[in-house]
Amino acid sequence: IFSTIIVLMTLVMTILFAGFAVLHLTTAAKTQRRDHEQYVTTTMHFINSELEKHLQAGEVESVGFAEIDEVVRRENASRHFGRLIVVVADERGKVLLATDRARELLAANPPYPQFSGSSGPAKIVYWSSPAKVHYVLSRFEVRGSAGQVRLLRIALDWSDTQRRVASIRRQSLAAVLSGTILAAIAAALVTRHALRPLSMFRDATESIRSGSFDTRFDREHLPVELVTLADSMRGMQAQLKESFERLSQFAAELAHELRTPVNNLMGEAEVVLARPRSSEEYQDALASNLEEMARLSRMIDRLLFLAHASRGSASVAMEPLDLAIEVDRVIEYHQAEADDAGVKISRTGGGEISGDRTLFRRALSNLLSNAVSASTHGGRIGVSIRATNATTIVDVTDEGIGIADDELPRVFERFYRSQAARQRRPEGSGLGLAVVKSIVELHGGTVSVASHVGKGTTMTMTFPSIG
């Protein structure tokens, strides 16, 4: 991009320089031509008037040649427009007046235009001699009252002007070339300075590719146009860093969680293969292995669901749900587990939401399973349903061991389990609450937790109300 910008800036500046030079040269050339043509025409009319005056007076021979010659000498002395050459001849072509260099010019047989009358614009011809001398040519025919005829030829040597124009052309070309070089240098300097802040973004990108997220963005030294980009990059960098850390933590926790059932399977197989076993012992080993594989299968199912939910590709079949009915069915499913633990489960309230029946039951089932595991013998678990104007809230409250305050912010993270939960239920995977959170969010709701150690925990699912 650096080279491209330099080339484009240099090209633009070169076009501007060249355009200005062409415009200047074209204007100068047109102005010079117009001035010289006007000068030739004015001189021609002046000489015509002198010739006509003397011809009308009957001065056939002298006809004011001395005055004409003096005017030509004076004009040539000034050399403002170039050297003026005048030739006056009679109707037979006899030269009556020839100013300086006229004989040389006539010898070159210049292509004078056709004769013009004494009034009206002069006919102009531009001609370059074999000696590379540049002329402006014109001629007039003057008639007296007695029928006298005088042929007037005027030539203006404007070679000096042409040389000046050529010099200006060369200077303009040199200026364009110099301007192009200077433009390239300036473009390189300006572009390097302007793109210097982008090197910071490049370094940040390279550091991210290498796994480092510590590149800092100094907003004070950035142009105003890049401050917003820097803020966006900084936010993206922070998000990538957080995502990378979560991914690393997730990989470590996944490896840890998978290692336990895999080690159990390997250990059981090694024990069984250590010596010959009876068919009953093989059956017991296979049953134990089946439990571990079922645990792995549940973990994989939950991971797949979380992956689909995070990508927004989880299938959700929305329909009206009577929460009282759905909650009662989930409670009935967990009743045997609760009876074994000596825990009583009850429901209060009711309401309706638009949701996926299977997913809602799955979320509530995870909460009830955790509540039963956290409860002590004789404890109670209450499921409360209450509706507000915009939401329907489902609370699952237990009287169990509770969760420490410093652990509450992480309870919905994948694979995270509180210390007390690990002690009471070692076989858990730490994915249940993460699944609950994903399910509730798929329904456009939120989930929260409140807990006191030794007093119990309340899990709250908030769903949008129907309508």
Architecture of domain 221-310: Orthogonal Bundle (1.10)
- Residue 262 CA to residue 270 CA, distance in Å, equals 12
Element (H, E) at 247: helix 224-273
Nearest Cα neighbor of 39 from 154, 160, 165, 162 is 154
426 CA to centre of own chain: 53
* Site of tokens 């009935």: 332
pTM of structure: 0.50
Q: Render each residue's pLDDT in the chain as its tens digit; 467 residues.
A: 556 766 777 777 778 777 777 777 788 778 877 877 787 778 777 777 777 776 666 654 554 577 777 777 877 777 677 788 888 888 787 888 888 888 888 888 888 887 655 544 568 888 888 888 888 888 877 776 666 777 888 888 878 877 877 887 788 788 878 878 887 787 777 777 766 777 777 777 777 766 666 666 666 667 776 777 777 777 777 777 777 777 776 677 667 667 777 887 888 788 888 888 888 888 888 888 887 787 778 777 767 776 777 766 677 888 999 999 999 999 999 999 999 999 999 999 999 999 999 899 989 999 999 899 888 889 999 999 999 889 999 999 999 888 888 888 888 887 777 766 666 666 566 788 888 998 899 889 999 999 998 899 999 999 998 86
Nearest Cα neighbor of 21 from 165, 183, 176 is 176
Query: For the CA atoms of 115, 117, 118, 124, what is the dihedral angle to 10 degrees?
Result: -50
Q: What is the CATH number of domain 2-166?
A: 3.30.450.20
Q: What is the pLDDT of residue 147?
A: 67
Tokens representing 460 are 């709250």
| β partners of residue 397 | 382, 458
Q: Which residues of 98-118 are buried (b: 16+ CB within 10 A; e: fewer)?
A: bbeebeebbeeebebeeebeb
Burial class of residue 426 in the structure, from the number of CB atoms within 10 Å of its CB (0-12 exposed, 13-18 middle, 19+ buried): exposed
User: For residues 378 and 342, is the Cβ–Cβ distance under 8 A?
Assistant: yes
How many C-beta neighbours within 10 Å does residue 90 have? 14
Nearest Cα neighbor of 401 from 361, 362, 373 is 373
Q: What is the pLDDT of residue 395?
A: 95
Distances (CA, A) of 170 to 11, 28, 32, 161, 251: 21, 14, 17, 14, 73
- Residue 333 CA to residue 138 CA, distance in Å, equals 119
With H, G, I as helix, E, B as strand and everything else as coil, classify residue 151. strand
How big is the chain, counted in residues? 467
Bridge-based pairing state of the strands 380-387 and 344-349: parallel
* Site of tokens 């509180």: 418
Q: What is the pLDDT of residue 422?
A: 66
Q: What is the pLDDT of residue 296?
A: 77
Element (H, E) at 221: none
How many C-beta neighbours within 10 Å does residue 324 have? 16
- Residue 32 CA to residue 78 CA, distance in Å, equals 17
| β partners of residue 464 | 391
* Site of tokens 């587990």: 337
Tell me the H-state helices in 274-322: 279-311
3-state helix, strand, coil in the chain (%, to 5): 60, 20, 25
- Residue 375 CA to residue 396 CA, distance in Å, equals 12
- Residue 123 CA to residue 161 CA, distance in Å, equals 20
Q: What is the pLDDT of residue 447?
A: 94
Domain boundaries, the chain: 2-166, 221-310, 315-464
Architecture of domain 315-464: 2-Layer Sandwich (3.30)
| β partners of residue 319 | 355
Tokens representing 31 are 């102005």
DSSP string, 369-432: HHHHHHPPTT-EEEEEEEE-SSEEEEEEEE-SS---GGGGGGTTSTT---HHHHHH-TT--S-H
